[in-house]
């Protein structure tokens, strides 16, 4: 891949550069779409089906149509990505990967020469159907990244925090993820990158992490000084101003914390949470402090770990300030397979009755998860991924009936970052028969998670430039809800706005993302009916 930007390093951050906006790959020929140098405006008819029950309990389906206007800011600007846990496996791997892609590097491996790529990124390495060729009737598929004007990962400025003082080159060595030949090519740049001091509350992560904590801000419980310190790191010379950024996206990719108790008067409302931080309440997690600081800076915040960072008070605070948040927990290997396979089985009319998931891994995430409180956070995020698919099929499952679902994680240092995931799916089939599916999945954790980090940053930034309004007199453009459910494809336990159903089925999540982007340019969802061929 050809390099898109040169790289230099200052104040522990990787500087990207904003490129001149390229011409769009396609335009939409419709009276409902208007292009200006600064914006894309579209008029869109949204079709749904409303279902009611008649007096005799019969279902009545009524087609509905609502008209909306979308507006997309075409100017991307210069974007920064700040990672909490920058020196961890994920942070060091994604940084090295972006540097390698930016410089168009290739390196020798046991299997031959390897070139930098963004495989595993939905945004950078997947395509979507635009339509059908007018002459040949062939499907025309385009890169996802060309659906709308999006920041290129090569152009991201990168910085962040870590409780460890190691520079990024040392962190990369400690992670033991990348090939030595690649590490040597990016080492000179990464040795100059050092994470900013992070906040560290020992009660929230496993005690076995204490020996890494040599780069911490003073104080072991929440304080408003910690919020202001993080705000300054985002806003001032350390990152945003120093790098001339228009926007910053903040992501938690640090250790899994224990679940925070939801306590009335402490973290149940925005006012209570802010007061709890100011008074140093011990049930406020470090990740929640980062979230509040990001919200105050209007920097989208995404929780890539399974704990309940975005407690009710944090969500309410984001809604009040119209700031974007998203979570929880990167959906990279085993859970992504599970959400795809369960969706397939239940849609095929097969009754899944048992799921047993076993994991063993040897990276620092596994070490941290060997503590029961932290494991419980992960167990919750991995266990709820089938609920909506089960609830959708009342033929197979009675109300409140669920498959048995067990998740086990063990720390095995020898396997390093190459997590072993073993799953058994047990199902009832025709006339009392049974089907058992066993999967053995070697998930190279950080190499699967790093592209998700890129996707989440690119898509979160994209959503800051999309606004919409009802097609009614006096209606004003507004942004999407603060809780970015559009990011669900990349997250194990996706958050949704109040009153919105949680969707875990992988196909539905991807379709939602694509169809929202199609709406932004005035295109209806692709139906895949191909009636133009069937009715000849």
Tell me how far CA of residue 61 lies from CA of 16, 48, 52, 531, in angstroms: 52, 10, 7, 23
Catalytic residue check, 419: yes
> How confident is the model over 185-228, as pLDDT tens digits?
999 999 999 999 999 999 998 888 889 999 999 999 999 999 99
Q: Do 350 and 292 belong to one domain?
A: no
pLDDT of res. 301: 98
Residue 66: partners with Cβ closer than 8 Å, 6 or more residues away: 45, 46, 48, 470
Of the residues 162, 233, 419, 455, which is catalytic? 419
Lowest mean pLDDT among 115-124, 320-329, 409-418, 431-440: 409-418
Residue 404, pLDDT > 90, answer yes
> How confident is the model over 422-475, as pLDDT tens digits?
999 999 999 999 999 999 999 898 999 999 999 999 999 999 999 999 998 889
**Alpha carbon of residue 68 to chain centroid:** 27
The total number of residues written for the chain in this structure: 536
Residue 125, pLDDT > 90, answer yes
Q: Do 298 and 404 belong to one domain?
A: no
What does the pLDDT average to over 23-40? Answer: 93
Domain that holds residue 424: 334-444
Q: Do 310 and 360 belong to one domain?
A: no
What whole-number distance in Å separates Cα of residue 201 and Cα of residue 191?
A: 27
Map residue 195 onto helix, strand or coil.
Answer: coil
Tell me how far CA of residue 148 lies from CA of 15, 41, 44, 467, 487, in angstroms: 24, 12, 16, 13, 16
58 occurs within a structural domain? no
Q: Do 240 and 253 belong to one domain?
A: yes
pLDDT of res. 524: 94
> How confident is the model over 468-500, as pLDDT tens digits?
999 988 899 999 999 999 999 999 989 999 888
Which candidate, 16, 396, 12, places its Cα nearest to that of 168?
A: 12
Q: Do 138 and 197 belong to one domain?
A: yes
What does the pLDDT average to over 21-39? Answer: 90
Percent of the chain with pLDDT over 90: 74
pLDDT of res. 478: 95
What whole-number distance in Å separates Cα of residue 163 and Cα of residue 161?
A: 7
Residue 357, pLDDT > 50, answer yes
**Residue 169 per-residue DSSP state:** H
16 occurs within a structural domain? yes
Q: Check: CB of residue 295 under 8 Å from CB of residue 288.
A: no
93 occurs within a structural domain? yes
Q: Do 236 and 259 belong to one domain?
A: yes
Please, which contacts does 393-398 make with residues 24 or more away whose CB atoms are closer than 8 Å?
A: 393/346, 395/349, 396/346, 396/349, 396/350, 396/351, 397/351
Q: Check: CB of residue 120 under 8 Å from CB of residue 451.
A: yes
Which of the four pLDDT bands, split at 50, 70 and 90, describes residue 368? Answer: confident
Query: Over the range 453-475, which residues count as b (16 or more CB within 10 Å of their CB) and which as e?
Result: bbbbbbbbbbbbbbbbeeeeeee
Ordered DSSP codes for 67-124: EEEEEEE-----EEEEEETTTSHHHHHHHHHHHHHHHT-EEEETTEEEE---TT-HHH
55 occurs within a structural domain? no
What does the pLDDT average to over 286-302? Answer: 98
Of the residues 194, 331, 378, 382, which is catalytic? 378
Which of the four pLDDT bands, split at 50, 70 and 90, describes residue 325? Answer: very high
Catalytic residue check, 400: no
pLDDT of res. 384: 76
What does the pLDDT average to over 370-380? Answer: 72
What whole-number distance in Å separates Cα of residue 158 and Cα of residue 82?
A: 6
Which candidate, 295, 299, 300, places its Cα nearest to that of 317?
A: 295
What whole-number distance in Å separates Cα of residue 239 and Cα of residue 77?
A: 16
Catalytic residue check, 378: yes
pLDDT of res. 270: 98
Q: Do 319 and 196 belong to one domain?
A: yes
Q: Do 408 and 532 belong to one domain?
A: no
Which of the four pLDDT bands, split at 50, 70 and 90, describes residue 6? Answer: very low
Q: Do 377 and 328 belong to one domain?
A: no
pLDDT of res. 427: 97
Query: Over the range 311-333, which residues count as b (16 or more CB within 10 Å of their CB) and which as e?
Result: bbbbbbbbbeeebbbbbbbbbbb
Better-predicted residue by pLDDT, 409 or 11: 409
Q: Quote the number of domains for the chain.
A: 2
Q: Do 312 and 228 belong to one domain?
A: yes
Residue 7, pLDDT > 50, answer no
Tokens of 406: 């067990």
Tell me how far CA of residue 395 lies from CA of 79, 216, 388, in angstroms: 48, 54, 14
Q: Check: CB of residue 365 under 8 Å from CB of residue 411.
A: no
CATH number, domain containing residue 464 = 3.40.50.720
Which candidate, 292, 154, 318, 317, places its Cα nearest to that of 229?
A: 292
Tell me how far CA of residue 203 lies from CA of 207, 210, 381, in angstroms: 8, 11, 20
What does the pLDDT average to over 352-365? Answer: 89
CATH number, domain containing residue 359 = 3.30.360.10
Tokens of 32: 């409902």
Q: Do 316 and 364 belong to one domain?
A: no
Report the phi/psi class of residue 50: left, alpha or beta, with left for phi > 0 and alpha for psi in -120 to 50: beta
67 occurs within a structural domain? no
Which of the four pLDDT bands, split at 50, 70 and 90, describes residue 2? Answer: very low
Q: Do 450 and 422 belong to one domain?
A: no
Better-predicted residue by pLDDT, 10 or 408: 408
What whole-number distance in Å separates Cα of residue 274 and Cα of residue 276?
A: 5
Mean per-residue pLDDT over the chain, rounded: 91
> How confident is the model over 38-87, as pLDDT tens digits?
999 999 999 999 999 988 989 999 999 999 999 999 999 999 999 999 99
C-alpha triplet 380, 385, 390: angle, nearest 5°: 125
What does the pLDDT average to over 296-312? Answer: 96
**DSSP-H helix ranges across 236-324:** 270-278, 286-296, 312-321
What does the pLDDT average to over 370-375? Answer: 74
Residue 282, pLDDT > 70, answer yes
pLDDT of res. 480: 95
Of the residues 155, 328, 329, 365, which is catalytic? 329
**Would you tell me the crossing angle of helices 312-321 and 270-278 to the nearest 10 degrees?**
110
169 occurs within a structural domain? yes
> End-to-end distance of the chain based on CA atoms, in angstroms?
43
User: Which residues sit opposite 419 in a β-bridge?
Assistant: 443
What does the pLDDT average to over 350-376? Answer: 84
7 occurs within a structural domain? yes
What whole-number distance in Å separates Cα of residue 52 and Cα of residue 361?
A: 49
Q: Check: CB of residue 295 under 8 Å from CB of residue 248.
A: no
Which of the four pLDDT bands, split at 50, 70 and 90, describes residue 367? Answer: confident
Q: Check: CB of residue 419 under 8 Å from CB of residue 358.
A: no
450 occurs within a structural domain? yes
Catalytic residue check, 410: no
């Amino acid at each position: 891949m050809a390099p898109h930007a040169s790289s230099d390093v200052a104040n522990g951050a990787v500087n990207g550069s904003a490129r001149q906006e390229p011409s769009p790959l396609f335009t939409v020929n419709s009276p409902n779409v208007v292009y200006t140098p600064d914006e894309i405006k579209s008029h869109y008819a949204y079709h749904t089906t409303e279902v009611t029950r008649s007096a005799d309990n019969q279902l009545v389906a009524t087609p509905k149509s609502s008209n909306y206007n979308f507006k997309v800011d075409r100017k991307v600007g210069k974007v920064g990505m700040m990672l909490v846990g920058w020196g961890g496996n994920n942070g060091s791997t994604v940084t090295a990967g972006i540097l390698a892609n930016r410089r168009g590097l290739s390196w020798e491996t046991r299997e031959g020469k390897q070139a930098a790529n963004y495989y595993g990124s939905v945004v950078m390495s997947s395509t979507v159907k635009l339509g059908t060729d007018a002459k040949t009737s062939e499907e025309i598929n385009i890169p996802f990244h060309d659906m709308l004007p999006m920041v290129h990962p090569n152009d991201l400025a990168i910085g962040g925090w870590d409780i460890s003082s190691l520079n990024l080159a040392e962190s990369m060595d400690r992670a033991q993820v990348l090939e030595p030949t690649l590490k040597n090519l990016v080492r000179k740049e990464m040795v100059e990158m050092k994470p900013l001091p992070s906040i560290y509350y020992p009660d929230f992560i496993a005690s076995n992490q204490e020996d890494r904590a040599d780069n911490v801000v003073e104080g072991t419980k929440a304080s408003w000084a910690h919020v202001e310190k993080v705000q300054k790191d985002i806003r001032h010379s350390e990152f945003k101003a120093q790098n001339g950024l228009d926007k910053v996206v903040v992501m938690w990719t640090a250790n899994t914390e224990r679940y925070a108790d939801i306590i009335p008067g402490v973290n149940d409302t925005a006012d209570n949470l802010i007061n709890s931080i100011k008074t140093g309440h011990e049930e406020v997690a470090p990740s929640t402090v980062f979230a509040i600081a990001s919200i105050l800076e209007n920097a989208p915040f995404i929780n890539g770990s399974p704990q309940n960072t975005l407690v009710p008070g944090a969500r309410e605070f984001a809604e009040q300030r119209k700031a974007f948040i998203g979570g929880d927990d990167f959906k990279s290997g085993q859970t992504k397979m599970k959400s795809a396979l369960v969706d397939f089985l239940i849609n095929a009319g097969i009754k899944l009755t048992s799921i047993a998931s076993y994991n063993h891994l040897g990276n620092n995430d596994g070490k941290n998860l060997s503590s029961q409180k932290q494991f419980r956070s992960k167990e919750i995020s991995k266990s709820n991924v089938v609920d909506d698919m089960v609830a959708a099929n009342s033929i197979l499952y009675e109300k409140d009936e669920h498959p048995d679902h067990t998740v086990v994680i063990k720390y095995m240092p020898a396997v390093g970052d190459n997590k072993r995931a073993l799953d058994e799916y047990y199902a009832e089939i025709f006339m009392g028969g049974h089907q058992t599916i066993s999967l053995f999945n070697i998930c190279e954790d950080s190499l699967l998670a790093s592209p998700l980090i890129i996707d989440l940053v690119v898509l979160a930034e994209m959503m800051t430039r999309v606004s919409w309004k009802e097609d009614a007199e006096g209606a004003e453009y507004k942004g999407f809800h603060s809780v970015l459910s559009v990011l669900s494809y990349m997250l194990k336990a996706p958050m949704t706005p109040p009153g919105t159903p949680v969707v875990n089925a992988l196909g539905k999540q991807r379709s939602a993302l694509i169809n929202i982007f199609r709406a932004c340019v005035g295109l209806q969802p692709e139906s895949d009916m191909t009636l133009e061929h069937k009715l000849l």
